[in-house]
Amino acid sequence: LVNRVVSRLIQAIRSTDGSFSSIERLGAGSYYEHVKISGPNEFDIMLVIPVARLQLDTSDDTGAYYYLTFKRNPKEKYLLKFLDEDGKLSAFKMLEALREIIKREVKNIKDVEVTVKRKKAASPAITLQIKNPPAEISVDIILTLEVQQSWPPSTQDGLKIEQWLGRKVRADFRNKPLYLVAKQNKREKVIRGNTWRLSFSHIEKAIIINHGSSKTCCEADGPKCCRKGCLKLLKYLVEQLKKKHTKELEKISSYHVKTTFFHSCVTWPNDTDWHLEDLDHCFQKYLGYFQCCLQKCQLPHFFIPQYNLLSLEDKATSNFLLRQINYELNNGFPIFWE
């Protein structure tokens, strides 16, 4: 159902506006990493526009958010209409144009009931609701630029996977194109909507799918590990706690869980550290690592180590989540049985 709707939209987007004629789709997020928990009711689809070269200027000290400008005479003349008055490529303008095309096309889809949800402030996604009785499916469409150039300096010391997946794999990953998503930087002094955030979802997906230090880990005839099992358990725990305490935990996302997972895999790099039959022990280890991060309010972005995903201004959120997790841990995880 999702594929049918998205394929139609992509066709319409390509043919309506020259600026988006080269758009490609890429499935990202938990469904495509095969770590989706509960039902398949949420999908992230990246719509990728290839760009040859851009100049990246940091917009704050995280090393994650950038202003983009074109080098001399860009090949992508069709994107020039999205520049703001300072000559920066405006994420806001591009998203608006894309949203308009999607809203128009959705009206022409007769065989499925699809609506475009109202815009959420600072969200990089255009969200579709697809009626699929008895439930609804939500599809986040994320506008992404794929830039063929080397990763910026802030990523130099990230992706510390040498001991786990090997030096060669790290080098291969760092040769992949750079992805930037249209994402508002809340720290900007004057909010203009022209910032872009680095995205590594294509690499994250590859890591989760080939997660073993030995190449055969979790293959049909290879040894099985419990890495993904642990990730799903912690995702489920946090998701259930978020449902219960929506307001208190609105700043916590599954990305915190995923980042902690990558750090845990680096801390315990061998497949023997994650024997399938040791799931309970491994989960406690991974959960303990997450508790430490919450306690210290310190969770470095896996690819951009200077960027702390649990900053001190969110200390109250971290403490709240830590208390909830401790309660669950000490009482045999009642939330798993509800």
Model pLDDT, residue 38: 66
State the pairing for strand pair 135-147/178-182. Answer: antiparallel
Q: Which residues contact 57 (CB under 8 A, 6 or more apart)?
A: 66, 67, 68, 69
> Exposed, middle or buried, 175 (CB in 10 Å: 0-12/13-18/19+)?
exposed
The SS3 call for residue 180 is strand
Name beta bridge partners: 115.
129
Model pLDDT, residue 90: 92
Model pLDDT, residue 177: 94
Question: Domain-by-domain residue ranges, the chain?
Answer: 1-201, 214-336
Three-state secondary structure readout of 53-91: CEEEEECCCCCCEEEEEECCCCCCHHHHHHECCCCCECH
Model pLDDT, residue 208: 92
Model pLDDT, residue 295: 97
Is CATH 1.10.10.10 the classification given to domain 214-336?
A: no
- Structure confidence by residue, pLDDT tens digits, 30-49: 666 666 766 678 888 889 99
What are the φ/ψ torsions at residue 134 (nearest 5 degrees)? -90, 5
Model pLDDT, residue 334: 95
Any idea what DSSP says for residue 221?
T
Model-level pTM greater than 0.85? yes
What are the φ/ψ torsions at residue 239 (nearest 5 degrees)? -60, -45
Name beta bridge partners: 138.
42, 129
| Residue ranges in the chain whose pLDDT is less than 70 | 17, 28-35, 37-39, 121-122, 188-192
Model pLDDT, residue 33: 66
Half-sphere exposure of 222 (CA within 13 A, CB side): 14
Fold of 1-201: Beta Polymerase; domain 2 (3.30.460)
- Structure confidence by residue, pLDDT tens digits, 106-147: 999 988 899 999 887 667 789 999 988 788 999 989 999 999
Nearest by Cα to 146 from 52, 33, 58: 52
